[in-house]
Structure 1
Amino acid sequence: MASVELIKVTKRYGKQTVLNPLDLTIPDGCFTVLVGPSGCGKSTLLRLLAGLDTVSDGDIFIDKQRINDLDPADRDIAMVFQSYALYPHLTVAENLAFHMQVKKVPRPEQQSKVEQVARMLGIERLLQRLPKALSGGQRQRVAMGRAMVRNPRVFLFDEPLSNLDAQLRMELRAEIKSLHQQLKTTTVYVTHDQVEAMTLADRIVVMNEGNIAQQGRPLDIYDRPVNTFVARFIGSPPMNLLEGLIEERTGLAGVRCGELWFPLPAKWHAAAKRQADAPVTLGIRPHDFLRLETSSQPAATLRIMEVTGETSLLHVDWSGFPLHIQFAGRLECQPGQPLWLEARAESLHLFDTKSGNRLSEAGLAL
């Protein structure tokens, strides 16, 4: 196991900068997930760690050792790719043992290690098969096993589940999490799927346009996104964002969004009253709505409803604002039907309209 530290790491291709100077520390044994949209720089960062690409500026350290100039084979890192990258002419057992053969590990030790890893991954009965005789999920297990037999200081995963169906992704997510709990190896995992990030990570690093937008524990980021980008990216369905103005009514502070008015919880009142008519962006998670029999607010109009069995996702128009709203269970309503809604005041988020940055309760400022 090992800690990983990046100091002012930058990557440029010609005149194009794909990674702006960034600092990142990954503690020993931590499962860290790099997440963000396509083109944000997360895979580039992984390639720099693996030594598959060179750093333009800055330094990378593993256990205080600078590795910028080390060859990939000398970094003691194992990488699992999206494409499996198995040797098609070798059996599963031979694929697992390949690195040990190159290192001239004694054959009994090779066999013992292969059997141990195969048991952990549940692929003992597949050891004599060729990769072409395996399913996608089985191939990914073999790719993971080939990395595990090396007993590296750091595991790198580059979107390993993106080629699998939903059921297999769920199963392998659980296996990867279980393996990390057993091995405690420092892990850096790249994905664009925020559900994978939330369920797997000890720590999430949200990236956007070559920068780190926010990093921290999954629920901390979910509960307190630092800006509107993170608020929309982390959470499925994404957070609803409505532009409005701070307004006071009958002694209460709230946010007016067109014809809608959302009262703020008491902790916001003092600051909000000092900022009357200030433009803000109001954030509301889809599950933070209540359905009422009637309301003084205008009714929303249901456009589409998606029912999964355990939840109902409503796409509504509420006074000109398209919103996603999620309720537990199954609702009896039809497209075009009016709905009276209320947002939970204690769960509202406020962001600066111009910068997109989160506003604090203390002074409506970061």
Structure 2
Amino acid sequence: MASIELVKVSRRYGKQVVLQPLDLTIPDGSFTVLVGPSGCGKSTLLRLLAGLDAVSDGDILLNNKQINDLDPADRDIAMVFQSYALYPHLTVAENLAFHMQVRKVKREKQQEKISRIAAILGIDKLLTRYPRALSGGQRQRVAMGRAMVRNPQVFLFDEPLSNLDAQLRMELRAEIKSLHQRFGTTMVYVTHDQVEAMTLADQIVVMREGVIVQQGNPLEIYDRPANTFVARFIGSPPMNLLDSQLTTRDSVPGVSCGDFWLPLPDEWHHAALHQCDKKVTLGVRPHNFLIDEKSGSPAMVRLVEITGESSLLHLDWQGFPLHVQVSSRVLAQPGDRLLLSIDTKHLHLFDKTSGARL
């Protein structure tokens, strides 16, 4: 196992800056997920760690030792690629053994490792097959096994599940998490799927345009997003963001949203009184709306998606398009009217101009 530290690391291609100078600590034995939209620099950062690309500035430290100039083979870091990267002319067993053969590991030791890892990954009956005879999920298991037989200090995963169907993604996601719990090896995982990030990570690093926007444990980022970008990116369905204004009614601080007014939680009163009439962005998670037929505010149904035990409602409310998630089946039709209220204990306020959390 190993800890990783990036100190003012950046990457440029000519005049194009892909990674701004950034600092990042990946604790020993942690499962860190780099998440963000395509082109944000997360895969570039992974390649810098693996040694497949060179840093433009800064230092990468593995267990407090600089590894900037080490070849990939000398870093004791194994990488699992999105495209599997298996040798098509070798069987599963030969793919698993390839690194050990290069290292001249004794044949008995090779067979022992192959058998153990294949059993853990459930591919022990596939050892004589070639990659062309495997499904996508089986190929990804072989790619993971090829990294595991090396017993590296760090595992790197570059969107390993993006080519798989939804059922396989769920199964392999649980398998990767189980492997981390079993072996405790430091893992760095790249994805643009925030569900993968939330379910796998001990630490999430949210990136945008080559910059780390926020990092922390999954629930911390979900409950207290640093800005509107993180608020929309982390959470499915995404957070609703509504143009609003801080106001008071009968000396009670609240937020006006269209014709609707909400009182703010008590702990926000002091700050809100000093920013009265400030324009803000109100953030509300889809599951923090309530269907309230007694005192709610009217909203028109545009679309209903029933996903089994829950329903996702697409509504028009006070001129705002809303996503509302309820834990029951709502048998409404487009054009129907529902009355909504908001759980005020779970509001989020952001600066209207900068998008930063207030």
Above 0.5 in TM-score? yes
CA distance in 2, matches of 1:262, 1:210: 37
> After superposition, what is the alpha-carbon deviation per residue over 1:183-235, rounded to whole angstroms, capped at 9, x for unaligned?
11100000000000000001000001100000000001000001110000000
Offset from partner CA, 1:53-84 (integer Å, 9 cap, x none): 11000000101111111111111110000000
1:358 aligns with 2:357: yes
Quote the Cα distance in structure 2 between the aligned partners of 1:57 and 1:274: 43
Q: Distance in 1 between matches of 2:7 and 2:125?
A: 45
Give the aligned partner of residue 126 of structure 1: 126
Aligned to 2:141: 141
Tell me the residue number matched to 1:338.
Answer: 337
**Residues 296 and 340 of structure 2 are in contact (CA less than 8 Å); yes or no, is this contact kept in structure 1?**
no
Residues 203-222 of structure 1 mapped to structure 2, 5 A cutoff: 203-222=203-222
Q: Which deviations, in whole Å up to 9, do the C-alpha atoms of 1:307-360 show, x marking residues without a partner?
A: 11021000101011001000002012111111110110010001111111111x
Q: Tell me the alpha carbon deviations over residues 232-260 of structure 1, each in whole angstroms, 9 at most, x when there is no partner.
A: 00000000001111011123211112222
Change (3 A) 1:85 1:338: same
Counterparts of 1:89 and 1:156, CA distance in 2 = 25
Question: Residue 286 of structure 2: SS of its match in structure 1?
Answer: coil
Partner of 2:254: 254
Query: For residue 341 of structure 1, what is the amino acid of its counterpart?
Result: L
Supply the distance in 2 between the matched residues of 1:76 and 1:344 (Cα, whole angstroms). Answer: 50
**In structure 2, what is the equivalent of residue 16 of structure 1?**
16
The two structures have a TM-score, normalised by structure 2, of 0.99
In structure 2, runs of 5+ residues without a counterpart are none
Q: Secondary structure at the match of 2:321?
A: strand
Q: Distance in 2 between matches of 1:254 and 1:241?
A: 16
Q: Does 1:172 align with 2:172?
A: yes
Question: Once the two structures are aligned, what percentage of the paired residues are identical?
Answer: 72
- Structure 1, unpaired ranges of 5+: 360-366
Q: Which amino acid aligns with 1:167?
A: Q
Contact 2:296 2:341 in 1 (8 A): no
Of 331-340 and 251-260, deviating more is 251-260
In the TM superposition, what whole-angstrom CA distance separates every residue of 1:128-170 from its partner, at most 9, and x where no partner exists?
1111110000000000000000000110000000000000000
2:49 alignment partner, SS class: helix
Task: Measure, in 2, the Cα distance between the counterparts of 1:161 and 1:185.
Answer: 19
Q: Distance in 2 between matches of 1:269 and 1:335?
A: 39
Q: Match of 1:207, as an amino acid? A: M
Counterpart position of 2:161: 161
> The residue matched to 1:316 in structure 2 has which SS?
strand
Structure 1 segments (4+ residues) deviating >3 Å: none
Question: 2-side partners of 1:11 and 1:58: how far apart?
Answer: 9
Alignment of 1:305-324 (within 5 A): 305-324=304-323
Amino acid at match of 2:335: G
Residue type of the alignment partner of 2:332: C
Query: Alpha carbon RMSD of aligned pairs, Å?
Result: 0.8
1:296 to partner: Cα distance: 6.2
Task: Give, in whole Å, the separation in 1 of the partners of 2:341 and 2:258.
Answer: 15
